[in-house]
Amino acid sequence: QVIFDMDYTLWKCNAEDLNVPIIPGSTPNTVMDSSGRYVKGSDAAFDVFSSLKRAGIALGVASAGRNRPHSIALLRSFGLYEFFENPQNSIQVYRGSKDTHIRKVCKAHDVSPRTAILMDDLLHNKPATIRAGASFHHLKKRILTFEDMERALLAYSAKVKQRTSFSGWLKGSKEKEKCDKNEKKKIIEKSRIEIKPAIPSK
């Protein structure tokens, strides 16, 4: 699954700074709050979400924002909210560490954090992501792009391939160790038979 931060990842603002209600703006991929402030969203977000959804990849949110209702309002105004299954649990918005967010999102989808990628604009969230067992992709431009998503998926695929190769090697190594132990046991048993003292004749 792919988990997204929101502020400066899906849109260029902190959701808690806006005033509700929040409505779609007059220009493409913008929204406006009740004070008249316009906010630009990621040009790639809708298409990225749509592509991931079609591929059967679950989506989640891990945000340390202070105001969940404002974040949900932004998701709805940008047309992104409907892509989430079980949004009450797969959209985690509260002050806290990313590893806690990630674990809760993964639990909502009944998957392991090892299968998750976090897309985030803040590099300091990487250690918490790794601590949860997930992969981390840093958005250097502080907004989601298609190129970011492609790079993140390629890196994840390489990681899985490496993990699978190592698992295969480890399994083979354990099987070899088991065979070696069995062979060693046979040799010891054979030696015991060969050195068995002879029974003196009467």
Report pLDDT digits (tens) over 106-162.
Answer: 999 999 999 999 999 999 999 999 999 999 999 989 999 999 999 999 999 988 877
Report pLDDT digits (tens) over 75-100.
Answer: 999 999 999 999 999 999 999 999 99
Q: pTM for the complete prediction?
A: 0.81
Residue 68 has pLDDT above 80, yes or no: yes
Q: State the DSSP string of 22-91.
A: -EE-SSTTEEE-TT--EEEBPSSHHHHHHHHHHTT--EEEEE--S-HHHHHHHHHHTT-GGG-SSHHHHE
Rounded to whole angstroms, the Cα distance separating 5 from 93 reads 9
Rounded to whole angstroms, the Cα distance separating 85 from 122 reads 25
Angle at CA of residue 26, ends 21 and 31, nearest 5°: 40
Length of the chain: 202
